[in-house]
Every structure is written in structure tokens, then in C-alpha cells.
A and B are shown apart, each in its own frame.
Chain A
Amino acid sequence: MTATLDVAAGQQPDSPPASWKETMAVFLARQIRDTDRICSGAHTEISFAATMLAQKMHAPNLKLQLGGGAFLCNVVGVEVDELPKTSVDYRIMGWAEAYFEHHDTFNHYGPPGGRDYYEATDKWRSTNKYFFADKFFVGGIQVDRHGNTNLIGAGEKGKFSFRGPGSVGINDVTTVRDAFVFMTAHDKQRFVDQADYVSMPGPKTYREKDLAGNGPQFIVSPRCVFDFSGPDQTAALAGIFPGHSEEEVAENTGWEIVRSPHFVELEPPSAAELHILRTAIDRKGVLRK
């Protein structure tokens, strides 16, 4: 994915336009609420940047678990010199207030939505307060129209034509309220009608099997965002990033595009968002490489 977005309007002079990784990180940060609990999942520079950006910009109460080493971090007022290279990067400890053994991360630590759970009770009535996190970012080598996400591989059962990293823990986080599947490339090899293997099932299976969480609620790619408001809880186009088009999404997706009733125009990163991202989180420009 090479599209560099023309979002210079409103930016400071000489500031380069937002890269696709920066645009995704800013988009994900905007979806994070001040009262959320988030487990960033395995290391990616995009989700790490998104969560830290949210905490610094609008969500200082975000309960943030960074990395598989299970540090609970708060980076408000904390200087972040650069994005960590792995999920056990020792610098994460410098941003942390608490630590869990990794196996302990699968246990509850507070209700979804934090205090909101108790103060806006109508909103949470149907949710299981024992959710492991409110949001979780799930990577995939394939995702299909039902939101089934595959990290195992491609090819027939037992005969891999391509072996992926394995399911990591994305099958285990059944008590996450809303998972965001994020794909760092968007083409027909990755956005398929039916995934070869399933590491994390989509929302339909979540309901059929009565798993506690909601399962995937969005798929985010460098081109666009899907929700699951399509027929039979299938993916529907919920937003397009600036510089991309519905036609382009359709050409690169292995299922027929339908629009979500919740479709919105996604705004580019603002000057303020980019400024904090570049000066207080990603000083070395990892997201621009």
C-alpha cells in the first residue's frame, strides 16, 4: 500500500502529509474512549501508536495494556522517545504503572467502559462486565466477509501453501467487547470470500456460539473501514479513507461491496493529531516508513 494521502490542508508548513500508517493510527485513536480498557495485542506500530495517541490526546483514563509482556501503561505526561520495537521492549516498563504475568492478562480487571459502566447503565445493560478488554486489535493474513480472521495460513487442511504466524491469542480473547480487525494491505488475496482457516471467528459465529464478547466489529485497512451491518452479519462499507474510492475498494475486495447504513466520510488526521503523533510518540517516523 503506497498511497500517500493529500491531507496537507490545515497542517503546519513543511509538515509532510499523513502516511497511510499514520492515518490508520489516528483513525484507531479516535475510536478509543476515555473510559475504555484496551489490550494492544501483539506488537504492531500502528496499534501501539493509536493507543498512546488516544491516551495523550483525549483518553487519560484509558486502561492500556501494551504488549504481551503485560505492562499496564499510562503515558500522559510521560516522554515517549520512540515506538517500541517489540511487545517486550524494555522501554514499555518505563511507561508502566503495573505488570501482569502474561497468563493473567486473560483475567478480568474491571468492567467494560470503566466508570461509564456504572454511570451510563442503559448503554451497558446487555454487556458482560467480565470482558477482558473493551477493544482489541486483531491482525490477519486473511479476513473474509463474515469477519473470520486467519493467522494460520493458506491452502487445504494440513497442506499449507503458506504458513502464517499461528493464531497467537486472538482465539482466546472471547471476552473482548469489540475487536478491530486491522489489515495492513488490502487486496483480493487478503480480503477473501471465505478464509482458508479461522483464527478468530466473525460476529455471526460469536453470537451463534454465544461467546461472551461481540467479536470483530470493524475491519480497518489502509483503504477503508467495514462494519458488519450487511446481510447475515457480513461486512459492509462503513467509511473510506481520504484519497481512496469505493470503486478502488471493490476492485481489491473478494466480496461484493454493500454500504453500511452507518456509512460516514472519514476525515484526514488533523494538524493537532499529527503534531502529537510525530512529536510525542513517533519521533523517529516509523509510521512514515
Chain B
Amino acid sequence: MSRGAQPLQAGPIELPDGPPPRREVVSTARDVVAQISDGQAVAIGGFVTANHPMPLVRELIRQGKKNLTIIGSATGGLEIDLLLGAGVVGKLIAPYCGAELYAPLGNCFRTMVEKEQVELWESSEYILYAGLQAKAMGQEFMAWRGGIGTSIVDLNPDLKVFTSPLGDGKEYVAVPAISPDWAFLHVGWADSYGNGQHPGARFGDRIMARAADRVALTVERLVSNAHIRRNPIMTSVPYADAVVVAPYGSHPYASHAFYAEDGEHIEAYVRATAGFRKGDRSGLDAYLDKYVFGPESHDDYLDLVGGRTLRALEAEYEHLTLGRHSVDVFGSDG
């Protein structure tokens, strides 16, 4: 027998107490983040101002993680900027970190890259995906032409240029596998066995889940297994390792099919971090004290934000989408 092969089971498997139960994976942000060691790599799902797993993001800061490799989405938002400012990031793999019209670039991101306070793995959208795809397939690298003729390959020594073996002389980039220890994703709902469903846009979440060693979901709702089975094709992240129940868990960012992003909160964050550019972190620290270290729990965070605000964001989502993309979450058997 070679490595890993198991001995043959010659007879029936004896289980005097009957078969083991199905494993339930409902957990808490605290317990999930407690499993992460300093220096590990964590991918953060969502896109720009939507679907970020904020209870897990804030918990990384609360638990004072250090020197993490953070893998942002192809268009990372200010949740990455927050992690940078809070000092948990040693290396950043993200083609972008900002919030477009709210903030062309995150203040912490720009400052820390300029001051070399974080290692930036220079990349692009598909260079990120190629690295995740390579890992998901169990391969060492993926070949990709995007990046040839650019400065990206000069700035990132991990990207190797090679000539096609097919004989046409074309150059390719070998994008090495990107290996998240965990992917933190925010989805609409999941059952207690870890079957998660996106009722709205999925962005790059699925490839992050496939590349990651383990997956933790924050969910707006915990639903029954019967609810999941009504439409198994919608299950975008099966077998998550942890499900953290967190209604409004993407706030201040949007959660597709549920609520819009909190523009006022995002603008306040951008103002609070403006001083960071000039070496004054008092605004950032005040934000961290109020929204990250202050609330003892996610419910406390929601109390701080306020029910009025949250309901207004739901109404705004309904209005912006003309009700077309809001989902009947519970259905008949949820």
C-alpha cells in the first residue's frame, strides 16, 4: 500500500450506537477567528461595497491577529482598508482596495503601500483568479497571457514569464497557486450543515471557496435543509466549515437581495481615515473604538447602527431594484 491507502474493511461496519449524526457547523465569529493563527492567509469575499463578511472581518481585528496574508476580492473594498489600518495585514493580495465613487482608493491602503508598511503582491483581476484557480485544481501554477508586456511581472517576482512550449514563441505568465487557509464569505442563507446559497450576485466568492482550505460563511438567515433542497442548483458554497448567523452581516456594505450599502457610514469612514494620509490615526482609532472594539457582539453592533438605519437600507434596496431582486427568503417551508 502506498501513502494514505486504508486497510480493507472485510466485513460489515459495526456501529452499536447506530450511525454518527450529520455534522452541524453553526458557529460564532469568535470561535471561527480563534482558529486562525498569525501569518495565515484569509480570503475576504464580496466585491467593492457588497457582500463582505463583516462580523468575521471585525473579529480578526478584535482578536488582534498579526501578519495575516489578506486576499481581497478582484475589486476589494474598504473592509480591506480597515484590516490594513488596524494592523492585522502583513501581505496583501488584491488588485484594488477602495470604494470607487465613495473613495477612489482606501486611505490606509494608499498610505501603507507608499510607506512600505505592507507587502503588496502586485496583481490584476485575472492574475488573482488564475492563482486561485491553480490552487483549486491542485496545480502549481496556471498559464495566463495577461500581464505580458506590463510592469506587473517586474513588480511581482513570484510571477514568472515563460515561452510557450507549443513553438509559436509566445510568452506567458506562470501565476503560482494562491493558497487561502480560510475563505470568509457572506451569503444570503445556509443550512446548519454548511450549504450556502447566494440569492444575488456571487462575484468571485465561488472560486475563493474552491481554492480555500476551509470556508466560513456569514449568513443573513439560517434556513432548514429542506429549504436548501428546494433548489439545490442555487447552493453556491456547499460544505462550508462554519456558518455564522449574522443578520445585516455585511453592514456597512450591501447584501444582495437584502439591503443597500450604508453610504453615510462609508463616507464617515473615509473622512475618519483621511488623517491617516498625514500620519494622524486618531480618526481611524476612534472608528475602531466605536464600531469594532466597542460592541461586545454583532447584536450590539446592530444596536449601534440602529434599526431605523437598517430598515431604511432595506427599503432603499427594494426601491433601487424595483423589488425585482428581493428574495422571498423563507418560502413555505423555510
Chain A contacts to B: CB under 8 angstroms = 30-31, 33-34, 57-61, 63, 71-72, 74, 76, 93, 96-99, 104, 106-112, 115, 123-124, 126-132, 174-175, 177-178, 203, 207, 212, 214, 217-218, 225, 227-229, 233, 238-239, 262, 264-267, 269-270, 272-273
A61–B233 touching, CB < 8 Å: no
In the assembly, what is the distance between CA of A23 and CA of B163, in Å? 53
A227–B4 touching, CB < 8 Å: no
Interface string of B74-89 (1 = CB under 8 A from A): 0000000000000000
Please tell me which one of the listed residues B4, B11, B19, B21 contacts residue A214 in the complex, with CB atoms under 8 A apart: B4
Size range of the chain B interface in the assembly: 35 or more
In the assembly, what is the distance between CA of A251 and CA of B23, in Å? 47
A108–B135 touching, CB < 8 Å: yes
B-chain residues with CB within 8 Å of residue A107 when the two chains form the complex? 133, 136-137, 210
B-chain residues with CB within 8 Å of residue A60 when the two chains form the complex? 19-22
B1–A217 touching, CB < 8 Å: yes
Please tell me which one of the listed residues B9, B22, B206 contacts residue A31 in the complex, with CB atoms under 8 A apart: B9
A-chain residues with CB within 8 Å of residue B9 when the two chains form the complex? 30-31
B233–A99 touching, CB < 8 Å: yes
B19–A30 touching, CB < 8 Å: no
Interchain residue pairs A-B with the least CB separation, the first 10: A98-B235, A98-B238, A267-B11, A130-B138, A96-B232, A107-B136, A175-B138, A30-B9, A264-B10, A107-B210
Instruction: Write 26 A-B pairs (CB below 8 A) sorted by A numbering.
Output: A33-B6, A34-B20, A57-B13, A60-B19, A60-B22, A97-B191, A97-B225, A97-B228, A98-B195, A109-B238, A110-B214, A111-B214, A129-B213, A130-B135, A130-B137, A131-B138, A132-B138, A174-B138, A214-B2, A214-B3, A217-B1, A227-B1, A228-B2, A239-B8, A266-B11, A272-B12
Contact of A227 with B5 at beta-carbon distance under 8 Å, contacts A61-B23, A97-B229, A106-B137 already known = yes
A30–B12 touching, CB < 8 Å: yes
In the assembly, what is the distance between CA of A108 and CA of B288, in Å? 36
Contact of A58 with B5 at beta-carbon distance under 8 Å, contacts A96-B232, A109-B238 already known = no
In the assembly, what is the distance between CA of A97 and CA of B236, in Å? 10
B137–A99 touching, CB < 8 Å: no
* CB proximity of A276 to chain B, nearest CB, Å: 11
* CB proximity of B331 to chain A, nearest CB, Å: 16
B211 at the interface (CB under 8 A from A): yes
B4–A178 touching, CB < 8 Å: yes
Contact of A58 with B138 at beta-carbon distance under 8 Å, contacts A97-B228, A227-B5, A264-B10 already known = no
A262–B137 touching, CB < 8 Å: no
* CB proximity of B129 to chain A, nearest CB, Å: 12
CB within 8 Å: A-B pair count: 142
Starting from the known contacts A71-B232, A178-B4, 19 additional A-B residue pairs (CB-CB under 8 Å) come to A31-B9, A57-B13, A58-B15, A60-B20, A61-B20, A63-B239, A72-B232, A74-B22, A97-B225, A98-B195, A98-B232, A108-B211, A109-B210, A115-B23, A124-B4, A130-B135, A225-B8, A228-B2, A265-B10
A217–B2 touching, CB < 8 Å: yes
* CB proximity of A11 to chain B, nearest CB, Å: 13
A97–B232 touching, CB < 8 Å: yes
B-chain residues with CB within 8 Å of residue A106 when the two chains form the complex? 137
A58–B3 touching, CB < 8 Å: no
CB closest residue in chain B, given A236 = B1
Contact of A128 with B210 at beta-carbon distance under 8 Å, contacts A34-B20, A267-B12 already known = no
Chain B contacts to A: CB under 8 angstroms = 1-13, 15, 19-23, 133, 135-138, 191, 193, 195, 206, 209-211, 213-214, 225, 228-229, 232-233, 235, 238-239, 241
In the assembly, what is the distance between CA of A98 and CA of B232, in Å? 4
Interface centre among A99, A130, A272, by most chain B C-beta atoms within 10 angstroms, is A130
A108–B136 touching, CB < 8 Å: yes
A126–B235 touching, CB < 8 Å: no
CB closest residue in chain A, given B233 = A99
A97–B238 touching, CB < 8 Å: yes
CB closest residue in chain A, given B207 = A107
Contact of A31 with B6 at beta-carbon distance under 8 Å, contacts A104-B210, A108-B211, A110-B239 already known = yes
Contact of A30 with B13 at beta-carbon distance under 8 Å, contacts A97-B229, A108-B137, A207-B2 already known = yes
A57–B19 touching, CB < 8 Å: yes
B4–A30 touching, CB < 8 Å: no
In the assembly, what is the distance between CA of A266 and CA of B15, in Å? 19
* CB proximity of B102 to chain A, nearest CB, Å: 34
* CB proximity of B159 to chain A, nearest CB, Å: 21
B6–A178 touching, CB < 8 Å: yes
In the assembly, what is the distance between CA of A115 and CA of B27, in Å? 15
B-chain residues with CB within 8 Å of residue A228 when the two chains form the complex? 1-2
CB closest residue in chain B, given A272 = B12
Interface centre among B13, B21, B213, by most chain A C-beta atoms within 10 angstroms, is B13
In the assembly, what is the distance between CA of A14 and CA of B239, in Å? 42
* CB proximity of B15 to chain A, nearest CB, Å: 6
In the assembly, what is the distance between CA of A30 and CA of B11, in Å? 7
In the assembly, what is the distance between CA of A63 and CA of B194, in Å? 12
CB closest residue in chain B, given A108 = B136
CB closest residue in chain B, given A126 = B3
A93–B6 touching, CB < 8 Å: no
CB closest residue in chain A, given B191 = A97
